[in-house]
């Protein structure tokens, strides 16, 4: 469990660094240009990784129970919206970060993620638990607003 926590923290550090780098790139190439380059470089990096571990082959049952390509054709159409949303996230982040700063952008993005999580889990939780979480998010956003004044 401790290893997973360390990976999650490392992932958070990578996301924070990526936001700042893409924000700076967005200043020179525009938000959509930053998103494009982010995804082109990410695709090339992932292509190298997949080639090195052999996941481009169709019979990679050792690392992956089902081949990536085999499962791609069976995925429902809405499963592909994740790529669109990821590109949109990078573009919006690249636009906003230079204007309001890294810390406020990160806190607001995390608040948005919390709100989305609350709404996506709404049918599994009690109304009082959801209300408490929404109050927490509201306090975070209010604190950011007050801090900007």
Instruction: List, for residues 11-37, the tens digit of each pLDDT value.
Output: 888 888 888 898 889 899 998 999 899
For the chain, helix, strand, coil in percent to 5 are 85, 0, 15
Query: In terms of domains, do 95 and 112 share one?
Result: no
CA distances from 33 to 15, 23, 40, 88, 120 (A): 18, 11, 10, 11, 31
**62 pLDDT above the threshold of 50:** no
Write down the pLDDT at residue 41: 92
Query: In terms of domains, do 26 and 49 share one?
Result: yes
**Domain count across the chain:** 2
Domain, as residue range, for 143: 102-149
Q: For the whole prediction, is pTM greater than 0.75?
A: no
> Predicted confidence band at 70 (pLDDT cuts at 50, 70, 90)?
low
pLDDT tens readout for residues 113-136 = 877 877 777 766 666 666 777 787
Query: In terms of domains, do 14 and 28 share one?
Result: yes
């Amino acid at each position: 469990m401790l290893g997973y926590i360390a990976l999650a923290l490392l992932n958070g550090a990578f996301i924070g660094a990526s936001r700042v780098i893409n924000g700076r790139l967005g200043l020179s190439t525009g938000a959509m240009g930053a998103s494009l380059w982010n995804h082109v470089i990410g695709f090339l990096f992932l292509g190298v990784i997949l080639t090195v571990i052999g996941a481009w082959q169709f019979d990679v049952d050792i690392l992956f129970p089902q081949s990536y390509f085999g499962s791609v054709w069976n995925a429902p159409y809405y499963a592909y919206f994740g790529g669109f949303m990821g590109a949109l996230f990078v573009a919006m982040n690249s636009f906003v970060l230079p204007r309001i700063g890294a810390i406020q952008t990160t806190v607001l993005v995390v608040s948005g993620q919390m709100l989305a999580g609350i709404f996506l889990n709404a049918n599994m939780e009690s109304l009082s638990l959801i209300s408490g979480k929404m109050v927490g998010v509201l306090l975070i956003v209010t604190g950011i607003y007050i801090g900007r004044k």
